[in-house]
Each structure stands twice: as structure tokens, then as C-alpha cells.
Structure 1
Amino acid sequence: MGLFSRRPRPDSRPDDAFPFLSTEEASHLRGLVLTTFAERGIEVSLHPDYVEDDAGTQYGLANLAATCHQEEAGRWPGLVADHVRRIVARMSQPSELDTIVPEELRRRVYPRLVGRDRADPRLFSYAREVADDLVEVLCLDQPDTVAYLTDKVFPRLGPAGPLYDAARQNLREITFDEAEVVPAQDSSFHCVFGDSVFTATTALQLGSIADAVGDPIDPERGAFFVVACRNQVAFHPWRGDDAWATVFSGLLRWAELGFSDGAGPVSPELYWWRPSGIEQLSRRNDVGEVSVELSGDLAELIEAAGGG
């Protein structure tokens, strides 16, 4: 499975909402969306990553943008037309989140990792913090797309806590389709890929992934990982050797490339996983310079390994 699209794109900075597209590409895509709705006699408000109808219902454009990213620009009008057709069909029907019964929701709810800046607190006040810039929200898995659960559904469907429990259980069903070992100078790391949009979220159960690829994680030392985009997790179970700096560099480079050019970007940052929780290790300043901060526990482990 290829990590990034090889299709050349115009020489331009990445779009803020869809960094795997250039600003010109994203502007062209949004223009196609607006025009296609207008051709059907429907007026929508256009936002960076969604459209909103006059009833206030929002329809995301992330999946459309990811699909177009993999195709030549000449195919975009047809892809947009098909996407708008499906949206228009849903506009004439009640939202499944307005009609689904709690028992069915529990069978089809999944957690999803997103960057904190993608989870508007006005809509996702229930979101759980995973790391400083990474949160966990809930989604309903549907045949053609996924529907994010916003605050407005909980008065009818009950509190978020039990749904998180069901979602974590359902996440165990998500398996990866391919695994690779990626060289990183004098070390290496694993990367698993999957067609599911919840593949990156399986980092929450990284121990199970490591067991599946035959490289289990020492629970004390943990593993370093990145979740650049929705369809992959890259990680390195740390053995307490002195290769951690090389691994950091390799994983951060992988994350930066995947975040800027992969479908469904999640985060360009580096994290440390242990059964007790997840810590964010990398930070970026206002000009994009990256630094890595070692927590007390990790600093002590590295010093004990002779890398302090």
C-alpha cells in the first residue's frame, strides 16, 4: 500500500484544512462543490472542510478531498457530482443519528483520534484528551461515510461514557491490511496500514498491534509512535538501547510527510505509548521548528540506558 500520492501538484503551500492538497487545489475543489450544489438549486454555506445547509446540518468534505487527492484533476467534477448527489439524498431524509436506537449505536460506534484543533469545543465538549494536541471523539460508522457524534445527540442517546466503552470494544475489530518495516539509519520502525478510517485510532491499543507484527512492547519502556494520517500507525517498541534519537528522527520525518501528503491528516507529532497512557514528546514553535521534550520517566529510562 503506497503511503503518499505520487501525483504532482501545483507549487503552492499546503491548504490549512486539507494539507495533502495545495491551496490552489483546495480552492478549486471548494469551487466545484459550491457550483455543483448551485446547479441543483441548493444554496449551502461553504466552510474550509464542510458545507452547511439552511437547517444548520453540516456535511464534511474530508473524504471527498482525500478521494480527489488520489485522482487526476480531470476526474474531480464527476467525483464532486457523485458526492453532492449523496449529500442531497441525505438532505431529504432524517439523520440516522436522529433515529438510531441506543442498542444499534453501541454496535456501530467507534472512537476516532483527531487533532485538538479539529474538535471544536462548541460541538465536542465531551471529547477525551489523549495527549496535549490529540483528542478522542466518537463516530457512527455508516455504509458510505462516518458521522461524528456532536453534543446535540447525547440528550437523546444518553451520556458519552458508556458509548466510549462500546467504541473501544468495537475498535478491537479494526485490523490492519499491511505492515512494513521502515529503515531509520541504524534502527527501524514498523508501519501498519489499513483501509479503515479508524486505523490511526488503533494506536490506542498499540500493544495489540505490536503483538500482531511479532514485536511486543516492554510495558515499562513502551513504544514511540506517530499517527500522521487516518490509515496508518508507525511505531517502534523501545528496548532501552541508544537508538532512540535515530528513531525519533525517522518517525518525525515520516509523520511530517504523511501529515502533509496523506489522506485524513491526524498529527505530525511524536508520542510515547505505555499501557498507563500516552505522552506527547514533540512540540512546534510559531515558525514550525520542532523540539522534543523528554518527560521525567522517559528521561530517567534513557539515562539508565546510557543515552542521557
Structure 2
Amino acid sequence: MGLRDFLRRAFASGDDDHEHESTRGDGGITRADGEAVASSADGTPPARPNPAGGPPPPRTARTPLPRGDDAVRAALRLRLLAVDALPTVEGLPHLRAIAPGVVEVLTVDLPDRAVVPPTEQVARLGTPAELVSLGRDHLRELVGPGLERREIRAEDGLRFCFAHGAEHSTASLALVLPEVLAYLEAPADPRRGVAVAVPDAQHLAYRTIEGLESVMALGPMAAFARNGYDDNAGAISPEVYWARGPRLDQWEQLTRQSAEGIEIHVPAALTALVEED
């Protein structure tokens, strides 16, 4: 039986759906002008549980940027966000689409919140390219002691891993995924890409593509992503993606979650790579 037939049978449940539900939660993030990105129906900032532990999610109180250019530069960091967590996509110093509904932005990270500054507040600090490079360097600094690798094994033996750290921006480490794999998985061979999920700000789930079992693990990963997206503050995406390319920064969506269930789509290019084994 070929891989295509195997996947069709393994993922078959009605219309290739797994019966799970997905609901949308709010994260917490603040623009530099103090505007709360997400709020509840009565206009107050959302209060969401943080069952994963660790630091509290970014707060939404009005807070100015640190005083002094050096302090602002030191707090610059790239961050992964749901695009609908942003009140606007205009006037930002950096915005890059990573996947449908998921974007990379430049933030000023304070001890208890992340601020998305408008261009005019950081323009004096350097060119956009210079600021992005600095923000990426600061993100890489999180790859080290304090970042933990945890493995999840489903009842059927399928497994995947997730990175967990004290920082409330572990998911953003997907933007420096080669460095994460080199630290947590060495030796690792990501030439075929990596299945990635970023359900909330504090979790980065991944599985290196290395054979049929890695593709079969998409189901458990999708359930993990859904639960993390539903339950934790700083929700980003309930989907699983295929990250590939030299920097693993080309993402293709592999799952689609709805009230009817989870659909898993394995593109022909990924199928061909797995069939090489």
C-alpha cells in the first residue's frame, strides 16, 4: 500500500475529519499609544487563565516606552502574533506574513507586557532592517538555558515535542527555528522541513519530518494545538504548519480546524519527500 493510500485510510473519518472543536480566545498585547489590542465585550482588557504556568501574559495597561534610546533598543524583539490581535497593520515598523492569520512583528518587550510601537516612535533608532536584525538577535538569546524540550506520546505511540520556557514568547522562537532545533534536538536533520504548531505565546510544538511516523503525528499535534489555542492566554493559531526552506521560514498550512472537526492535508511535495524513505 502506497503512502497516499495509507494516509487516506489513516486520516479517514467521514470526510477525513477528526471530531474536535475549536474556539477563539483573546491574547494580551499593547500598542505603544496604550491601546489594548484585545478587550472583552464590556471594553475591559481580557483576563484569561494561564494553566501552563510561568510568567503572566502581556498586560494591557497604558505604559510608555522605556526612557532612553539604548533601553528601547535593548528591549526590541521579534514576536509571532495572530494578525487579528493587531488593531491595525498600518504604520508599523515591521510586519511580515508567516502563514494565514499569523504575522511577525517588531515589539518592545517590557517585564510585564509587549508593546507594538508605531514607526514614528522607533524610526530614530535605525532603519527597519537594522531594527529587525536587532530584534531577531534578541530573540535568539532566548535559545539557551531555561528553554526545555518536552516530549508528548499519544496513545498510539505517535510522538512530537514542544519547547517550553519561562519567557512568555516561546512560540516566537519559531522565527529562529534552526537555532531551536540545534539546541534542543542536536543532531537534527531538518532538510525535509518541520511540522510546527504555535497555539499560544508560551508553546512551540514541532516534529522534524523524517518518515511516515512524522506525518502520522500531525493528528496528535493538531489536537495539542487546538487545546493550547483554546485554553491559554496569548492565543496565536490552532493549526499545524510545514516549515521549510534554508531558514525554515516558509510555512504551509497542513490542518484546518472548524466546528465540524480537523482536516489534515498532506501536500504532494511533502508526500514525495516522505516516500523517499
Normalising to structure 1: TM-score of the pair? 0.66
Question: Which one of the candidate residues 78, 84, 91 is aligned to 1:117?
Answer: 84
- In the alignment, the residues of structure 2 paired with residue 247 and residue 169 of structure 1 have an alpha-carbon distance, to the nearest angstrom, of 32
Other-structure match for 1:227: 198
Instruction: Return the offset for 1:256.
Output: 0.2
Residue 280 of structure 1 pairs with residue 248 of structure 2: no
Instruction: Return the offset for 1:253.
Output: 0.5
Instruction: Return the offset for 1:201.
Output: 0.6
Residue 18 of structure 1 pairs with residue 20 of structure 2: no
Structure 2: any 5+ residue segments left out of the alignment?
1-20, 40-44
- In the alignment, the residues of structure 2 paired with residue 182 and residue 215 of structure 1 have an alpha-carbon distance, to the nearest angstrom, of 18
Other-structure match for 1:298: 270
**Matched letter for residue 262 of structure 1:** N
Q: How does 1:83-122 map to 2 (within 5 A)?
A: 87=61, 90=63, 95-96=64-65, 99-101=67-69, 103-119=70-86, 120-122=88-90
**Matched letter for residue 157 of structure 2:** D
Instruction: Return the offset for 1:182.
Output: 0.3
Determine what percentage of the aligned residue pairs are the same residue. Answer: 23
**What CA RMSD, in Å, does the superposition of the two structures yield over aligned residues?**
3.3
Indicate if the aligned counterparts of 1:130 and 1:278 stay in contact, CA closer than 8 A: yes
Question: Which one of the candidate residues 183, 186, 202 is aligned to 2:157?
Answer: 186
Other-structure match for 1:144: 112
- In the alignment, the residues of structure 2 paired with residue 189 and residue 215 of structure 1 have an alpha-carbon distance, to the nearest angstrom, of 15
Q: How does 1:1-308 map to 2 (within 5 A)?
A: 16-18=24-26, 57-59=34-36, 65=46, 69-70=49-50, 87=61, 90=63, 95-96=64-65, 99-101=67-69, 103-119=70-86, 120-124=88-92, 126-175=94-143, 176-184=146-154, 185-239=156-210, 241-274=211-244, 275-276=246-247, 277-284=249-256, 289-305=261-277
SS of equivalent to 2:189: coil
Instruction: Return the offset for 1:222.
Output: 2.0
Query: Which has the bigger relative contact order, CA under 8 A and spacing at least 6?
Result: 2
Structure 1: any 5+ residue segments left out of the alignment?
1-12, 20-48, 72-78
For 1:43-87, what per-residue CA distance to the aligned partner results, in whole angstroms no more than 9, with x for missing partners? xxxxxx6899xxx6414568x745x5249xxxxxxx9xxx89xx4
Instruction: Return the offset for 1:263.
Output: 1.9
User: Number of paired residues?
Assistant: 239
- In the alignment, the residues of structure 2 paired with residue 230 and residue 217 of structure 1 have an alpha-carbon distance, to the nearest angstrom, of 24
**Matched letter for residue 77 of structure 2:** Y
Structure 1 residues 178 and 220: alpha-carbon distance in aligned structure 2, compared to 1, 3 A threshold: closer
Instruction: Return the offset for 1:159.
Output: 3.2
Instruction: Return the offset for 1:288.
Output: 5.7
Indicate if the aligned counterparts of 2:29 and 2:115 stay in contact, CA closer than 8 A: no
**Matched letter for residue 168 of structure 1:** R
When structure 1 is superposed on structure 2, of 104-113 and 228-237 the one drifting more is 104-113
Instruction: Return the offset for 1:271.
Output: 1.3
Instruction: Return the offset for 1:123.
Output: 4.8
SS of equivalent to 1:69: coil
- In the alignment, the residues of structure 1 paired with residue 97 and residue 215 of structure 2 have an alpha-carbon distance, to the nearest angstrom, of 27
- In the alignment, the residues of structure 2 paired with residue 291 and residue 59 of structure 1 have an alpha-carbon distance, to the nearest angstrom, of 33
- In the alignment, the residues of structure 1 paired with residue 267 and residue 101 of structure 2 have an alpha-carbon distance, to the nearest angstrom, of 16
Structure 1 residues 191 and 200: alpha-carbon distance in aligned structure 2, compared to 1, 3 A threshold: same
**Matched letter for residue 253 of structure 1:** A
- In the alignment, the residues of structure 2 paired with residue 285 and residue 15 of structure 1 have an alpha-carbon distance, to the nearest angstrom, of 9
Instruction: Return the offset for 1:172.
Output: 1.3
Structure 1 residues 153 and 299: alpha-carbon distance in aligned structure 2, compared to 1, 3 A threshold: farther
Structure 1 residues 50 and 223: alpha-carbon distance in aligned structure 2, compared to 1, 3 A threshold: closer
Determine which structure has the larger helix proportion and give its number.
Answer: 1
- In the alignment, the residues of structure 2 paired with residue 285 and residue 61 of structure 1 have an alpha-carbon distance, to the nearest angstrom, of 22
Instruction: Return the offset for 1:250.
Output: 0.9
SS of equivalent to 1:211: helix
Instruction: Return the offset for 1:140.
Output: 1.0
Normalising to structure 2: TM-score of the pair? 0.72
